[in-house]
Structure 1
Amino acid sequence: MAQDQNLENAEVLIARNNDTGQVGAVTGLNEDGTPKMTDVKSAKLSDLVKFTKGENPLEAFMSNFVRQCKNPSTFGFFRVPADRYDTVGTVIGDFAKDPAANAEMLKNNVVDIPQPTHEAQQKADIKAETSEVKPEQPEQFASNEKTPEQSATADNAQAPDKEVKHSAIDESKIDWASLKKKWGIDRDQLEKSGDLRELLYNRKSQVITVTPTFGGEKFPIDARISFRVDDNGNIKVVPHFIHREPKLDQEYKGYQFTKEDKAALRETGNLGKVVELTDPKTGEKVPSFVSIDRYTNEIVSVPQKSVYVKDTVGQAKLTMAEINELKTGKALPPKQITDKNGKTYTVVLQISADRKGVEFVPGAVRKQEQSQNQQTGQQQSSWLTKDGKIKPLGKWAGIPLTDKQKSDYAQGRVAELTNRLDEKGQPCTVYLWFNPEKQRPNTSLNDPRVKVAEESKVQKAVNNDGLTNEATSKVAEPLQKYQTAPKNEEQQRQQRKPKGPKM
């Protein structure tokens, strides 16, 4: 956060209520999430919320605004350089009174508002990933009960190994009173949720609500946190705010993501290979794993040498070949893992830079199965049961089927539906059967066994196919079942232009 005496890299916000037309400089957020505003011209710079250009607090502030405000689209925001607020602020404030007319002048000052639907989905995903295991979703595990992989990763943090040396953070050195005051972080809540153990072993918490101070005012913001020990041995909190999307187009520690890299990160959350990253302190090239924090969309990395892969995950043993495959960053094929309670799950294992160890890749089994089905053309049809049999039908096109019709269809035979209407609303015979090539039901006025039903042949050709014959070329009304010629003198007198080629 920028200070008043050093404003060159700081910005302030001007907001506009699109419903009322009110324009004001932002001094904070109200309890309902709407921006607190003061008159642009008379505002004191010291009262305004200030943000350092390009840093997370502005994005966090906007995300918090969207999360709390019932109608975020009601407001528009415009950024103004803090060191030129006295001159530029009043001009932007005047332009903001009619943003449509001054769109060209305001385009470089507009602040993008995060989409609430994305954040809502993100929270739903977070909740799903930390919810209790469901039989049909074995990739998801309860947050307060460690999975075999999580336990293995926690054990790795204490396990001696020539490749890696983990050291737990000394809790006695944490100033909990200071963290409570500055961030609103409560030790007992962290312990109850299981986050304390994660933090002490140099990993991140789940998404929690922190209350940092911006411009002298506290703001509740959703974020993950981690602990970092500085050069003096002091333990600091590092907040990981929620980003709208990972910044994959930007260079990351000297590495530029390729098209394939971006696809892998978006699909699995892991890069899937080891790449050389530049250490910002030493300038050295360090072979590293790269992942996306699925909760915050932050890009994270960990040196390859700092990840220890045990030969056991849950109760499943890994072969040397599987361990070596994991160390290259690749994912293993779906594998059955049994947890300490005896439950067995089919999972995909891969090293996560965010977890700093082996993880179960969420949804990977389902994605692989879908991909394989698409490649082999064997995707399960919704018209089939799990064991591949034809699902029975109770009705078709809203009309109940008779017992015989149900039986014929379910047995793969042709069901004859005699109580149907054609496209002109006339009674006709329709044939229903399951098409094994298309993996779905088919209907037609043609009996697939003997072509068109004799009594509907002319009716189908004229009413449905747009054809004509000499006998019916001047009949304006739709033909009926069995009809092959004008049915009375009135129809004979009607003049109708042929609809299509002759039969």
Structure 2
Amino acid sequence: MDNNTDNQEYRFQPEQIDWKTMEKFGLNQEKLEKMNAMDSLLRGFKTNTLIPITINLGTAVSKMDVRLSLQTGDTGQVAVHLHGIRKEPNLNNTFLGHQFTDEDKKNLKESGNMGRVVDLVNLKTDEIIPSVISRDRLTNELVAYRAEYMKIPDEIKGIKLDEHQKQTLLEGRPLYLEGMTSKKGEPFDATVQFNADKRYVEFLFNTKPSQLQSQQQSQEQKTSNQQPQHTDKEAPKVFRGKELDDSQYEKFKAGQTIYIDGLTDAKGKAYQGYITFNKETSKTDFSFTHPNKLKEEAKPTVDHKTQTAVNTQGKTNEATKNLKEPLESKQQQPANKQQEDQQKKVRKPRGQKL
């Protein structure tokens, strides 16, 4: 390994590695350096490639290919972890509290990335951690990565990302980019997506735009239906992780709109709004603005009512009934001298001819 490399870039140092354990696997520092595996290990990542190891079980010797990683244990010691090859990922059981949907399974098998942020549970502390999930394509191991640690670049191969594109990637979804420039200076198009195993945005060249659109539509449908439906028409006591107090709940289940704060989005930012329980659909409607205020703002003004009544409905307004022209927006009085003269003219009834 190059001794001139800045050690500040590394999470671990070579002397922290348990080389006695490595020797039991038939490995040493020299071998790992020749396989270009030391750099990723010291940075805190898994080795980029599969490493052949030998395990002596006493009565038998087992050989296998694994990915290696270094992890700090509870006592502070650096331990060597082996990531063996699985025939297929285990998607039927819960993963850190998350139950995979059919769409989740499909995405993990096809692209390797689940494609959305979900709440996972730390089994030791019970902490709820919004995370993305990917499949290690070399071992089929499932890997989770905290959403708060995700870093999205401002530019990818010459294409500057706007805020909407960055948000798409932060939500774990795939993004199709056109007109990128390769290292050889050649233009190319590809899908990009954050990979939890690699911990960065990767290229997915085998994903077609039509498949991408289908996945995005499916994800949008899930997002719109993320609130559970209560078939028994009972109002939920918890909304997006925030439990309602007794006073709030009584109003909420009665169908009243209540204010709720202390909510947290996928990026960990707090927000607040108004919720209303719809008894007919058993769904909870959320709005950042009070629905009654929105209705009030949507009501037509008196000026607009006058204009509509006169111009459209054929009704009259005492102050403008003699005007010949249609009323302008918000007009309730004559707008100029000509209209004033028209309004003052009152036709006298003609007598009947004998």
TM-score range, shorter chain: 0.5 to 0.7
CA distance in 1, matches of 2:199, 2:112: 13
**How far is 1:300 from its partner?**
1.0
User: Is residue 52 of structure 2 the alignment partner of residue 219 of structure 1?
Assistant: no
The corresponding residue for 1:276 is 119
SS at match of 1:220: strand
**How far is 1:285 from its partner?**
0.9
**How far is 1:315 from its partner?**
4.3
1:355 is matched by which residue type in structure 2?
K
CA distance in 1, matches of 2:205, 2:51: 21
The corresponding residue for 1:195 is 37
CA-to-partner distance for each residue in 1:261-294, whole Å, 9 max, x for gaps? 1111112111100000000111111000001111
The corresponding residue for 2:169 is 326
**How far is 1:342 from its partner?**
3.4
The corresponding residue for 1:317 is 160
CA-to-partner distance for each residue in 1:32-70, whole Å, 9 max, x for gaps? xxxxxxxxxxxxxxxxxxxxxxxxxxxxxxxxxxxxxxx
**How far is 1:215 from its partner?**
4.6
**How far is 1:230 from its partner?**
1.6
Q: Relative to structure 1, is the Cα distance of residues 217 and 235 closer, same or farther in structure 2, using a 3 angstrom cutoff? A: farther
CA distance in 2, matches of 1:261, 1:301: 14
**How far is 1:198 from its partner?**
1.7
The corresponding residue for 2:104 is 261
Mapping for residues 72-221 of structure 1, pairs under 5 Å: 168-176=11-19, 178-205=20-47, 206-215=49-58, 217-221=60-64
With normalisation by structure 2, the TM-score equals 0.53
The corresponding residue for 1:307 is 150
CA distance in 2, matches of 1:236, 1:292: 23
SS at match of 2:33: helix
CA distance in 2, matches of 1:343, 1:212: 47
Q: Relative to structure 1, is the Cα distance of residues 210 and 344 closer, same or farther in structure 2, using a 3 angstrom cutoff? A: farther
The CA RMSD over aligned residues, in Å, is 2.8
Report if the CA contact (8 A) 2:17-2:80 is conserved.
no
CA distance in 2, matches of 1:362, 1:186: 36
**How far is 1:306 from its partner?**
1.9
User: Is residue 180 of structure 2 the alignment partner of residue 342 of structure 1?
Assistant: no
CA distance in 2, matches of 1:273, 1:169: 31
The corresponding residue for 1:293 is 136
Say which of 84, 90, 98 aligns to 1:241. 84
Report if the CA contact (8 A) 2:155-2:161 is conserved.
yes
The corresponding residue for 2:196 is 353
2:71 is matched by which residue type in structure 1?
R
Say which of 231, 237, 261 aligns to 2:74. 231
What are structure 2's unaligned runs of at least 5 residues?
1-7, 216-354
Report if the CA contact (8 A) 2:66-2:82 is conserved.
yes
Question: Number of matched residues?
Answer: 207
CA distance in 2, matches of 1:197, 1:355: 14
Percent identity between the aligned chains? 34
Q: Relative to structure 1, is the Cα distance of residues 327 and 247 closer, same or farther in structure 2, using a 3 angstrom cutoff? A: same
1:225 is matched by which residue type in structure 2?
L
SS at match of 1:309: coil
**How far is 1:257 from its partner?**
0.4
Report if the CA contact (8 A) 2:67-2:83 is conserved.
yes
Q: Relative to structure 1, is the Cα distance of residues 326 and 371 closer, same or farther in structure 2, using a 3 angstrom cutoff? A: closer
Q: Relative to structure 1, is the Cα distance of residues 209 and 344 closer, same or farther in structure 2, using a 3 angstrom cutoff? A: farther
With normalisation by structure 1, the TM-score equals 0.38
SS at match of 2:167: helix
